[in-house]
Every structure is written in structure tokens, then in C-alpha cells.
């Protein structure tokens, strides 16, 4: 797919940066601007169930200017995907592979006009969408879209994002359970439970991560191939 430079965008109800910790706060991004697309170790396109016919709601997109209240959606059908952008509705064809690759055809949209800020946000949303070439879904109902190894957007099957996301006891217990495991064992344990696994620090070096918050993601610190700390977020 032809690459485009990604424009700054945050169309969701805001970046949720608070986290519920098992052992320590989240490691901040080392990229300078934590909201720009960044490579997240162990979070990568691996495919999954796109929940055909169900509506995905945008919860996070890369960028540095949150746009509160934007109700942006995406629904996959058998051979097409579409939904609501900040102003207009849109649709496109798409193809996927079992390994997590996805390619969208040309995006068509209605031609309604909106406020300048909304129209700017819409063009930025389409720019991000056209650059997507990978995806990951998790059983808890989250969809992650990628441009190469850059995580650029996140969607949820649950409409809206609660002001204070609730971390389940299951997630907390899972995070605690992987401490002392090898990295490979921890990743397998987390992913088998339907959660996303992410390494935020390895052997004392903090890795570049996005600062979107997810109650279905387990973040870990690895030292000499063993998980020494973990938290949900």
C-alpha cells in the first residue's frame, strides 16, 4: 500500500493516561511526543476476529490535539468496511490475511460540509485510515490498527470510553501472575487469556510506547528474559 505521512490526530474522547498498577506506573514514551505513532514492543499486527457486522468505536488515534465527543465508528462487512467519520459517512473495500495484514481500497465518503476543525479532523482520520496495513484484535473487544509497526488507532466494541475505566480483578490477577515467568511464558499466558501483551522496559531500557490506556493490556518489565514487574493499562 502506498505510504502517506501521518497527520496529527486524536479523534477519540481523549487520551486516557492514568493507569492501574500492580507494581509501578507506566513507563513514559521516549519518543518526545508520546502521542505520535510509536513502535510498541510485542504489540504488533497478528490478525484476529474483526467482528463482522458489529460496530467498532474509535477510542484513540495518534496525534497531539484531542477532539472530545467525536463519535467515529467502523463496521466490517464481508467485503467492505465503513462507518461514521467526524462529519461524513465512509466506505471502502478491504482484504486481510491470517497473519494480520489488511489493505483498504479507495475510501468513498458523503460530501457534507462541517465546521473547519471537524473537516480538518476528518481529512486526518482518512489519512490515517488509508495508511493502515495491519491489525490486531483481542477477545475483550478491542481492535488495534497499524501502519507498519506503528500503532495508529484503537477501537472498542463498547460505545464510548468511560471517564474512569474499570480494571477487572481478572486483569489484576493476570498481571500479578506473570511476574517471575520468562518473557515467552508470560506472553503466551496473557494472550491465551485474551489480553494484549506489551513489554515496556527490557534490561533497564524503557521502550517507546503509546500512552493510550487499555484495561485489556498487560504491560511488563523484563530483566534477563524474566518478567520482574507488571501492570494493567
Quote the CA–CA distance of 126 and 130 in Å, as a whole number.
6
Per-residue pLDDT band for 160 (boundaries 50, 70, 90) equals low
Of 156, 178, 205, the residue at which a domain comes to its end is 156
Average model confidence (pLDDT) for the chain?
77
Asked if pLDDT for residue 68 goes beyond 60, the answer is no
* pLDDT score at 65: 42
pLDDT digits (tens, 9 = 90+) for 166-189: 678 888 999 999 999 999 999 999
Looking up residue 151, the CATH number of its domain turns out to be 2.40.128.270
Residue range of the domain that includes 174: 169-232
Length of the chain: 233
Residues 80 and 182 in one domain: no
Contact 179, 227 (CB under 8 A): yes
CATH value at residue 222: 3.30.10.10
Residue where a domain stops, chosen among 105, 122, 156: 156
* 3/223: higher pLDDT: 223
Same-domain pairing of 39 and 146: yes
Q: Could you tell me if residue 186 is inside a domain?
A: yes
Question: pLDDT over 90 for what percent of the chain?
Answer: 42
pLDDT in tens, 30-46: 233 333 333 333 367 88
Q: Is residue 173 part of a domain?
A: yes
Q: Which residues, 6+ apart, have CB-to-CB distance to 5 below 8 Å?
A: 127
For the stretch 97-118, pLDDT in tens is 988 999 999 999 999 988 888 8
- Judge if 136 and 86 occupy the same domain: yes
**Are 39 and 149 found together in one domain?**
yes
- The H or E element that residue 205 is part of is strand 205-206
What is the domain count for the chain?
2
What lies within 8 Å, CB to CB, of 8 at 6+ separation is 35, 36, 62, 63, 64, 65, 124
Q: Which of 33-37, 111-115, 138-142, 225-229 has the lowest mean pLDDT?
A: 33-37
Give a yes or no: residue 15 inside a domain: no
Residues 26 and 126 in one domain: yes
Amino acid at each position: 500500500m502506498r505510504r502517506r505521512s501521518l497527520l496529527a490526530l486524536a479523534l477519540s474522547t481523549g487520551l486516557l493516561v492514568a493507569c492501574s498498577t500492580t507494581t509501578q506506573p507506566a513507563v513514559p514514551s521516549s519518543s518526545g511526543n508520546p502521542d505520535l505513532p510509536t513502535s510498541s514492543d510485542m504489540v504488533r499486527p497478528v490478525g484476529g476476529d474483526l467482528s463482522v457486522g458489529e460496530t467498532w468505536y474509535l477510542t484513540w488515534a495518534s496525534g497531539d490535539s484531542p477532539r472530545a465527543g467525536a463519535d467515529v465508528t467502523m463496521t466490517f462487512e464481508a467485503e467492505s468496511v465503513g462507518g461514521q467519520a467526524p462529519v461524513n459517512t465512509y466506505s471502502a473495500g478491504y482484504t486481510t490475511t491470517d497473519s494480520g495484514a489488511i489493505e483498504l481500497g479507495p475510501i468513498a465518503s458523503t460530501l457534507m460540509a462541517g465546521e473547519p476543525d471537524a473537516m480538518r479532523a476528518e481529512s486526518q482520520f482518512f489519512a490515517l485510515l488509508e495508511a493502515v496495513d495491519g491489525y490486531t484484535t483481542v477477545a475483550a473487544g478491542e481492535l488495534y490498527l497499524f501502519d507498519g509497526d506503528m500503532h495508529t488507532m484503537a477501537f472498542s466494541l463498547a460505545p464510548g470510553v468511560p471517564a474512569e475505566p474499570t480494571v477487572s480483578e481478572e486483569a489484576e490477577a493476570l498481571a500479578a501472575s506473570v511476574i517471575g515467568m520468562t518473557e515467552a511464558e508470560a506472553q503466551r499466558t496473557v494472550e491465551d487469556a485474551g489480553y494484549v501483551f506489551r513489554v515496556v522496559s527490557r534490561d533497564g531500557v524503557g521502550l517507546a510506547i503509546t500512552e493510550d490506556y487499555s484495561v485489556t493490556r498487560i504491560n511488563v518489565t523484563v530483566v534477563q528474559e524474566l518478567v520482574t514487574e507488571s501492570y494493567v493499562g
